Amino acid sequence: MRWLVTGAHGMLGTDLVDRLRSTGEDVTTASRASLDLTAADAIAAAVDGHDVVVNCAAWTAVDDAEEHEEDALAVNGEGPRLLARAAATSGARIVQVSTDYVFDGAATAPYAEDAPHSPVSAYAVDQTNGQLELLGDIYDSAPYGYVVAKDQTDFAQAIADAVKSLIDDGTYETVLKKWGVEGGAITDPAVNPAG
């Protein structure tokens, strides 16, 4: 299986690449310097030939995103859309890492995965836009689920394990059931108490 990890020099990307390579996976890395997430042709070329694309790239400077909203939106909103289209064209699966910033933080219980987005900052709006692009018309008919890392100390390993299960079993349904997901919602009370 061939993996493309964008944002490979960031904190999550570095950890994920290390985990994948330690298990013998074939990993191509793309950093901010090597792949412009606003250039459709460059993204299509980078994605071509890979089985899985994991987008760890993001404009993560939350406060800075307020001052550079257009640039942040290009990376966090447009980048995932271009990656998703390139993955759909080449037949690759794509994993988009999300953030709790897509919610307003006012809830008194854990958010359900289908809770309405309510971003309150430029960074949050950008992240929401990227997530909605992936869940939009490109993947409307594809099953999807959420990886919830119960042990926050090894989120990279949780992502790697979930995607490997998905590929090894050959269907989205199998991995979704393993994670307690039915119809796009997490139903396992250990993972989602509101499920």
Instruction: Report, as residue numbers or ranges, the catalytic residues.
Output: 123
Strand pairing report for 181-182 and 185-186: antiparallel
Q: Is 8 helix (H, G, I), strand (E, B) or coil?
A: coil
Query: 91 — alpha (psi -120 to 50), left (phi > 0) or beta?
Result: left
Q: What is the DSSP string of 103-144?
A: S-S--SSPPPTTSPP---SHHHHHHHHHHHHHHSTTSTTS--
Sequence-ordered list of residues with C-beta below 8 angstroms from that of 54, at least 6 positions apart, any chain? 3, 4, 5, 6, 16, 94, 95, 97, 159, 163
Q: Phi and psi at residue 31, in whole multiples of 5°?
A: -110, 175
Which of 125, 30, 12, 32 is CA-nearest to residue 77?
125
